[in-house]
Amino acid sequence: MRIMDFSLAMYAEVCKALQSHSVVTVQEYLSNKPKPPYVVLRHDVDRSLKYALAMAKLEHEYGIESTYYFRYPNTFNSKVIEQIYDLGHEIGYHYEVLDKARGDSRKAIAIFQKELEVFRKFFPVKTICMHGNPLTRWDGRNLWSLYDFRDYGLLGEAFLSCSDIPIYLTDTGRNWNGDLNFKDKLKAEKENRNLKSTVDVIQFLNSKKVSCIYLNCHPERWGPGTLGWLKALLRDHLFNFGKKVLKLVRCSFLKSSRL
């Protein structure tokens, strides 16, 4: 029976492929860098807590512990997140404060501190990760050119502190080759241009040539069951259409501004 790509069943195949690697959380990687071959596994929970919990339970079945980053307040539900935490996963803060402050860094850092405190009332947050909204012009990582996240008792930021990992794979845009990926970028992403499907990724993980990988999977993209998969598919197609339009508008604007 054919397994649909970007289904939870396909993610189970990814988990099987990860068995030959040492899979670590972002916190573990920054605390004590593992020996190759290893995979730093992270999940940006942008929308669906239900899908995040399903993914966390599946990983637990395979003995995998990973990092889950939650937005505030969009995907912050302490009771659901606690279930994920109790499975051994790291809980992190998926911040988007420059967007909320419309580029005002002073307002942004105040929001950051307040929201981080909310997370820490429930969970020992040690790492953070920018949420990249393609509809805004601000890049949240730029906040740390003015401030130091270590002043807030943090080990690191999931982009800035993991940039030395040679290979970065992300499912952003429901593909693995970086198309329609506006902000979820690292220099290491250039290595995955030839990966089209999750089957390609699994083969890549199984390759003896691969030693160190940074893998990011968004739970909302990996729908459980036929209905869950279909909902995720339709949502992704809708978002991708919007991204394509936005990309065309931006390209047209850049061309006209050069004239």
Residue 46 has pLDDT above 60, yes or no: yes
Phi, psi of 62 (to 5 degrees): -100, 10
Integer Cα distance of 13 and 45 in angstroms? 21
Specify if 239 maps to a domain: yes
Residue 204 CA: distances (Å) to CA of 24, 57, 70, 247: 18, 24, 28, 29
Average pLDDT, rounded, for the chain: 90
pLDDT digits (tens, 9 = 90+) for 150-163: 999 999 999 999 99
The residue with tokens 């949502």 is: 235
pLDDT digits (tens, 9 = 90+) for 171-191: 988 999 876 555 566 765 555
Question: How much is the average pLDDT of 133-161?
Answer: 95
Specify if 3 maps to a domain: no
| Confidence grade of residue 247 (pLDDT, cut at 50, 70, 90) | low
Determine the pLDDT at residue 253.
45
Residue 239 structure tokens: 């978002």
Tally of domains within the chain = 1
Give strand ranges (E) for the chain.
22-24, 38-45, 67-70, 90-95, 127-130, 156-157, 168-170, 212-216
Specify if 1 maps to a domain: no
Say which CATH number the domain at 174 has. Answer: 3.20.20
When mean pLDDT is compared over 53-57, 168-172, 192-196, the highest value belongs to 53-57
Which structural domain, as residue segments, surrounds residue 131?
Answer: 8-258
For helices 49-61 and 8-17, the axis angle rounded to 10 degrees is 40
User: What b/e string do you get for 187-198 counting C-beta neighbours within 10 Å, with b at 16 or more?
Assistant: ebbebbeebeeb
- Eight-class DSSP state of 194: T
Specify if 56 maps to a domain: yes
Residue 166 has pLDDT above 50, yes or no: yes
Specify if 2 maps to a domain: no
The answer to whether the beta carbons of residues 11 and 36 sit under 8 Å apart is no
Q: What is the pTM of this model?
A: 0.91
Specify if 197 maps to a domain: yes
